[in-house]
Amino acid sequence: MLEKALQGGPKYWLWMILLAAVIGAGSLCYYTQLIYGLGITGMSRDVTWGLYIAQFTFLVGVAASAVMVVLPYYLHNYKAFSKITILGEFIAISAVIMCLLFVIVDIGQPMRAVNMVLYPSPRSILFWDMVVLNGYLVLNVVISRVTMGAERKGVKPPAWIRPVIVLSIPWAVSIHTVTAFIYCGLGARPFWLTAILAPRFLASAFSAGPALLILLCLLMRRLTKFDAGDEPIQKLSIIVAYAMAANVFFVALELFTALYSASPEHIAPFQYMFLGLEGKHKLAPWVWTSQSMGILALVLLIVPRTRKNMRILALACIGLNIALWIDKGMAMVVTGFVPSPLGHVTEYTPTPPEIMIAIGIYAIGLFILTGLCRIALSLRGQLEA
């Protein structure tokens, strides 16, 4: 099946070569980081996790969100999703691979990463995250291979795959829950120490992921003969709207608890996020952008007139992803470290090589996603329009 990824017109190849070039540039930066150490990044003794771990967190959400198409299709037999379920699984596969890469580039001694397997530590949430993420990757690879293989032969998928698919549903929830547990189990970090973190992660994931899927469908409609149809896109947009509403609600709950209780250690991080502390407020403009874009996108998604307009819907999905990316792919992680346990306010700015490494990993993800979509489309004979 994989050979299908090698067939394509000039536009396809140009895109893949472009991605390969970006991957090359990212690898070069990573090589420099290996030689020089993580000091090449903007992280510091006080802010010990940054862009990499934040991308990891964001992408775990994207990976988990495949469940929003898998569940209605397989459990409720919602036929409209039949064409796009496979796309959801492809997004999941490429997102999980990116997650694993982001962890690898973040650790100081990547050559020793196998120590996590040699000395398994069930008390560590990171250990469990490794287990569930790899499991999720295997599940999605198996499911998409088997269902696609059956489709190619024009037969029904074998019966044994159904329990595997059903298993992938709670598994998707588990990857993001366990990822939230990495943060919310730490007494040292009051900003993360909240039971709502996992639900909030899930809500933001279930709106960002399907929004990306909508964008992918719209893109493929323009570039290829594949048309998901309006109905599944509209259904997805409702899912996006509900999940985003839940996310905004959860954020409001957090703000209320922190601000009304007036407990200094809970207020301080929020203060840093929105206003800045000790005159340091690099994050604030980003956070305000994120909040306002998020609310605006939510309004556009809730009002039926705007939601049903594909062009506005696309804009709303883009805005929503930028908003949630800033929130989760940046603010959530960094703010946990500000102020530090000793009350110091150290700011974090990712450095150019650090950003390039992150872009390189995204390029790897897109490369894989493009290749996978290519395979599926050529099987269905729906290539270029």
Partner 1 sequence: MSFNRRDFLKLTGLGAVSAVAARAAAAFPFFGGAPGAVKAETNAKTAKRWAMVVDLTKCKENCTDCIDACHTTHNVPDFGDDKRHEVKWIWKEPYKQSFPDQENEFLKDDLSERRVLVFCNHCQNPPCTRVCPTRATWKRPEDGIVMMDWHRCIGCRYCMAACPYGSRSFNWLDPRPHIKTITPDYPTRTRGVVEKCNFCDSRLAQGQMPACVEACKDRALIFGDLEAPDSPVRQILRERFSIRRKPELGTQPQVYYVV
- What are the residues binding partner 1 (CB under 8 A)? 36-39, 43-46, 48-49, 103, 106-110, 112-113, 115-116, 118-119, 121, 123-127, 130, 182, 185-189, 265, 336-337, 340-344, 346
Output b/e per residue, 47-60; b: 16+ Cβ within 10 A: bebbbbbbbbbbbb
Least distance from partner 1 to the Cβ atom of residue 41, Å: 8
Identify which of residues 272 and 367 has a Cβ nearer to partner 1 in the complex: 272
Identify which of residues 116 and 164 has a Cβ nearer to partner 1 in the complex: 116
Identify which of residues 151 and 265 has a Cβ nearer to partner 1 in the complex: 265
Identify which of residues 325 and 337 has a Cβ nearer to partner 1 in the complex: 337
Q: What is the DSSP string of 249-264?
A: HHHHHHHHHHHHHT-H
Least distance from partner 1 to the Cβ atom of residue 340, Å: 6
Least distance from partner 1 to the Cβ atom of residue 185, Å: 8
Cross-strand partners of 224? 384
CA dihedral 349, 350, 352, 354 (to 10 degrees): 160
Least distance from partner 1 to the Cβ atom of residue 40, Å: 8
Least distance from partner 1 to the Cβ atom of residue 96, Å: 18
Residue 296 to residue 290: CA distance in whole angstroms: 10
Least distance from partner 1 to the Cβ atom of residue 341, Å: 5
Residue 175 to residue 121: CA distance in whole angstroms: 18
Residue 65 to residue 59: CA distance in whole angstroms: 10
Maximum separation of any 2 CA atoms in the chain, in Å: 65
Contact 330, 366 (CB under 8 A): no
Those residues with Cβ within 8 angstroms of residue 185's Cβ, 6 or more apart along the chain or in another chain: 125
Let me know if 349 is exposed, middle or buried by CB neighbors in 10 A (0-12, 13-18, 19+): middle
Identify which of residues 77 and 109 has a Cβ nearer to partner 1 in the complex: 109
Those residues with Cβ within 8 angstroms of residue 361's Cβ, 6 or more apart along the chain or in another chain: 26, 55, 98, 101, 102, 105
Identify which of residues 9 and 264 has a Cβ nearer to partner 1 in the complex: 264
Identify which of residues 46 and 254 has a Cβ nearer to partner 1 in the complex: 46
Residue 146 to residue 141: CA distance in whole angstroms: 9
Identify which of residues 89 and 129 has a Cβ nearer to partner 1 in the complex: 129
Least distance from partner 1 to the Cβ atom of residue 277, Å: 14
Least distance from partner 1 to the Cβ atom of residue 130, Å: 7
Least distance from partner 1 to the Cβ atom of residue 24, Å: 24
Radius of gyration (C-alpha) of the chain in whole angstroms: 21
Contact 168, 136 (CB under 8 A): yes
Identify which of residues 85 and 179 has a Cβ nearer to partner 1 in the complex: 179
Q: What is the distance of C-alpha 141 from the center of its chain? A: 18
Identify which of residues 93 and 198 has a Cβ nearer to partner 1 in the complex: 198
Q: Note if the bond before 350 is cis, omega within 30 degrees.
A: no
Least distance from partner 1 to the Cβ atom of residue 94, Å: 23
Q: Alpha carbon of 91 to those of 6, 143, 183, 223: distances in Å?
A: 19, 13, 25, 18
